[in-house]
C-alpha cells in the first residue's frame, strides 16, 4: 500500500507548527450535533502556513465536521478556531476567504466551466479583462484549457474534479480545504490527480487541509497527517513517522499492514522490554506505549521488517512454519505460523538470495527489537 511513498515526498519547508503564529489553530474544539454525543472531542491542532495537512480516519470519525467548522458551515460547540491569529467564529463563511473542494464537486450546473471559475472573481468585483486572464491561467494549470465552454455535465468525473480544484484556487485563497476530492475516481486517475494536486500545492505555496480515508493517498501527499478516530486525533506526524513510529495500536493497524502480537510486559528498561506472548515465547521489543511490568500490550511489527534466515546477532529469532505463499511480483507475501500466531505475514522481496520457499517448510525468521513496537493493548 505504501509502496510508492517517498517518491513525491514534499520538499516544502514547513515552519514549526507549534509556534504562536500558527496559520490555523483549533483550540479545545468540541462539536456536538445533537447536544449529547460529541463527534469532535477536544481537538487541538496547529497548521503551519504552506503546509499540506491531511485528516485521515475511518468513516464517521469527524473529519468532515472539522472542515465544515473551519469553513464556517457548522459552529463549534465549544472552543475556538483561529486563522492567522484571528478568531473566525464570528466571521460568516463568505468572508473567510477559504477555498473549498466539496466531495461531490458542487460545480454550478447552469454555468460553463469558465463561468464557474469566474464566479469567485466576479463576486469580488474584479475587472473583466483580469478575470478572463486568471480563468485562462487556472484552466491551463489543470490542463483543461480547451474545455472552458463546456457545461459541467459534459465533463468526465476527473475533469469535473479538476474544475472543482481550479475553482477553489482561482481566487488565490491562502487556505484550501479538500474533502475527499478524489473519492469518486478510478485508481489511475486518482493517482494522477494526487500528483497534480501535490504539484499545485508546491507551486502556489497555499496551505491545504485535505480529508481522505485512503491511507496511501495520505502518505503520498501530506507534510503531516492527523489520524482521527472517534473525534480524537490519535497521532499527528509526518508520513514517515506515522508509518515507522506509530504511537498506538489504532494508528499502527490503520496505516499500512502490520503483524499484531498480544502479550504481557515482563521486563522493562529505558531501551527495550521483554514481552511474553500467550504461547510462552519471549520477544524483545521497543517500549512505546507501556508503562510498567505486567502491562498488557500489543506488539506491532511491519511485515517487511521480518527477515528469513536472519543474521546470528538478531534480537528475536524464531522457528516458523510456512503456511501460504502469494506471489505479488515484486515481493512474495508469505503467511507463516510463528509464536503460536498463524496470521503472521512476511513480505519476502523477490530477489535471488531469498531462494524459493515452499508451503509446509520450516524456516528461521527474525527481527530487531527496534522494529517491534510495544503499544497499548
Would you tell me which residues interact with ligand ATP (CB under 6 A)? 33, 39, 57, 59-65, 213
Bridge partners (DSSP) of residue 151 are: none
Q: Which stretch binds another protein (CB under 8 A): 18-26, 32-40, 107-115, 264-272?
A: 107-115
Partner touching 61 among Mg ion, ligand ATP, another protein, none, CB below 5 to 8 Å by kind: ligand ATP
Q: What Rg value do the Cα atoms of the chain yield, rounded? A: 24
**Closest CB to Mg ion: residue number:** 64
Among 94, 280, 329, 330, binds another protein (CB under 8 A): 94
Residues 43 to 102 in contact with Mg ion, rule: CB under 5 A:
64
Among 32, 119, 325, 370, binds another protein (CB under 8 A): 119
Query: At closest approach, how far in Å is the CB of 124 from another protein?
Result: 6
- Picking from 107, 96, 220, the residue whose alpha carbon sits closest to that of residue 162 is 107
- Picking from 269, 272, 328, 330, the residue whose alpha carbon sits closest to that of residue 299 is 272
Cα-based distances in Å from 371 to 73, 175, 243, 244, 250: 43, 37, 11, 8, 17
Partner touching 33 among ligand ATP, another protein, Mg ion, none, CB below 5 to 8 Å by kind: ligand ATP
Sign of CA dihedral 332, 337, 342, 343: negative
By beta-carbon proximity to ligand ATP, the closer residue of 62 and 72 is: 62
Q: Does 158 bind another protein (CB under 8 A)?
A: no
Q: Does 77 bind another protein (CB under 8 A)?
A: no
Return d(Cα 343, Cα 320) in angstroms, integer.
Answer: 12
Return d(Cα 157, Cα 114) in angstroms, integer.
Answer: 17
By beta-carbon proximity to another protein, the closer residue of 74 and 244 is: 74
Residues 133 to 152 in contact with another protein, rule: CB under 8 A:
151-152
Residues 32 to 71 in contact with another protein, rule: CB under 8 A:
71
DSSP helix/strand/coil, 305: helix
Partner touching 39 among ligand ATP, Mg ion, another protein, none, CB below 5 to 8 Å by kind: ligand ATP
Q: Does 222 bind Mg ion (CB under 5 A)?
A: no
Q: Does 100 bind another protein (CB under 8 A)?
A: yes
Question: CB neighbours of 273 closer than 8 A, spacing ≥ 6?
Answer: 265, 266, 267, 284, 285, 286, 287, 290, 374
Query: At closest approach, how far in Å is the CB of 133 from another protein?
Result: 18
Q: Does 74 bind another protein (CB under 8 A)?
A: no
By beta-carbon proximity to ligand ATP, the closer residue of 93 and 145 is: 93
Question: DSSP states of 337-374 as a string?
Answer: EETTEEEEEEEEE--GGG----TT-EEEEEE-GGGEEE
By beta-carbon proximity to another protein, the closer residue of 2 and 208 is: 208
Q: Does 124 bind another protein (CB under 8 A)?
A: yes
Torsion of CA 227, 225, 235, 272, to 10 degrees: 120
Site string for Mg ion, 354-373 (x = CB under 5 A): --------------------
Return d(Cα 186, Cα 181) in angstroms, integer.
Answer: 12
Query: At closest approach, how far in Å is the CB of 73 from another protein?
Result: 6
Backbone angles phi, psi at 6, to 5 degrees: 100, -30
Which residues lie near Mg ion (CB under 5 A)? 64
Amino acid at each position: 500500500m505504501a509502496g510508492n511513498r517517498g517518491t513525491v515526498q514534499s520538499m516544502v519547508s514547513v515552519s514549526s507548527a507549534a509556534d504562536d503564529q500558527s496559520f490555523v489553530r483549533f483550540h479545545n474544539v468540541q462539536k456536538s450535533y445533537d447536544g449529547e454525543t460529541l463527534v469532535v472531542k477536544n481537538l487541538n491542532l496547529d497548521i503551519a502556513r504552506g503546509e499540506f495537512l491531511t485528516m485521515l480516519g475511518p468513516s464517521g470519525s469527524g473529519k468532515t465536521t472539522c472542515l465544515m467548522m473551519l469553513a464556517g458551515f457548522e459552529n463549534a460547540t465549544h472552543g475556538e478556531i483561529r486563522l492567522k491569529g484571528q478568531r473566525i467564529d464570528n466571521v460568516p463563511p463568505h468572508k473567510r476567504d477559504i477555498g473549498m473542494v466539496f466531495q461531490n464537486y458542487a460545480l454550478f450546473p447552469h454555468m460553463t466551466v469558465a463561468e464557474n471559475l469566474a464566479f469567485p472573481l466576479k463576486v469580488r468585483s474584479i475587472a473583466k479583462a483580469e478575470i478572463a486572464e486568471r480563468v485562462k491561467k487556472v484552466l491551463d494549470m489543470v490542463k483543461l484549457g480547451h474545455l472552458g465552454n463546456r457545461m459541467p455535465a459534459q465533463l468526465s468525473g476527473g475533469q469535473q474534479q479538476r474544475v472543482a480544484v481550479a475553482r477553489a484556487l482561482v481566487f488565490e485563497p491562502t487556505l484550501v480545504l479538500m474533502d475527499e476530492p478524489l473519492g469518486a475516481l478510478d485508481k489511475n486517475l486518482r493517482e494522477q490527480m494526487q500528483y497534480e494536486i501535490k504539484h499545485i500545492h508546491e507551486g502556489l505555496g497555499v496551505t491545504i487541509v485535505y480529508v481522505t480515508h485512503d491511507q496511501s493517498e495520505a502518505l503520498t501527499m501530506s507534510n503531516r497527517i492527523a489520524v482521527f478516530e472517534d473525534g480524537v486525533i490519535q497521532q499527528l506526524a509526518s508520513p514517515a513517522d506515522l508509518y515507522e513510529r506509530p504511537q498506538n495500536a489504532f494508528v499502527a493497524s490503520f496505516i499500512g499492514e502490520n503483524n499484531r502480537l498480544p502479550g504481557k510486559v515482563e521486563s522493562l528498561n529505558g531501551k527495550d522490554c521483554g514481552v511474553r506472548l500467550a504461547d510462552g515465547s519471549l520477544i524483545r521489543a521497543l517500549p512505546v506505549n507501556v508503562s510498567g511490568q505486567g502491562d498488557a500490550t500489543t506488539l506491532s511489527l511491519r511485515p517487511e521488517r521480518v527477515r528469513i534466515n536472519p543474521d546470528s546477532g538478531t534480537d528475536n529469532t524464531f522457528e516458523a512454519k510456512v503456511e501460504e505463499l502469494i506471489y505479488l511480483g515484486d515481493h512474495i507475501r508469505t503467511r507463516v505460523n510463528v509464536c503460536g500466531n498463524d496470521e503472521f505475514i512476511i513480505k519476502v522481496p523477490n530477489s535471488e538470495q531469498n531462494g524459493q520457499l515452499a508451503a509446509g517448510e520450516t524456516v528461521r525468521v527474525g527481527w530487531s527489537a527496534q522494529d517491534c513496537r510495544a503499544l497499548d493493548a
